Amino acid sequence: MATKNTKQRPAKSIDAASDIITKEMPIGKIVMEHPETYEVFMKHGLHCIGCAAAHFENLEQGCVAHGIDIELIVKDLNAAAAKSKKAKPQVTKKDQE
């Protein structure tokens, strides 16, 4: 009698699946797409927003250079972006017609 492979894959973390911002994203892109994250950068002491490096340096590189906890800032940035996303009404094509 043949047996089925019953190994289950581990479930993806809900937080990881819903992350809008990742450590690989350029700092400038994060701020441009999610201006609500500005205060999070300031709170964590990552003042790279006006710096020329923000255009090519990703979040992880900026955090390493300034000794900032990458996991914590990513969590806080995503919380700010998610909060803002919930606050904004979603516009559909039907609404635009």
What would the pLDDT profile of 35-50 be if each residue is shown by its tens digit?
Answer: 999 999 999 999 877 7
User: Which structural domain, as residue segments, surrounds residue 49?
Assistant: 26-87
> What's the whole-model pTM score?
0.69
Name the burial class of residue 30, with classes exposed (0-12), middle (13-18) and buried (19+) by CB atoms within 10 angstroms of its CB: buried
- Kindly give, in sequence order, each residue whose CB lies less than 8 Å from that of residue 72, ignoring residues fewer than 6 positions away: 44
Q: Is residue 20 part of a domain?
A: no
Residue 2 pLDDT > 90, yes or no? no
Highest mean pLDDT (candidates 4-8, 71-75, 86-90): 71-75
Asked whether 31 and 54 are in contact (CB, 8 A), the reply is yes
Please report, for the domain that includes residue 79, its CATH number.
1.10.3910.10
Q: Is residue 35 part of a domain?
A: yes
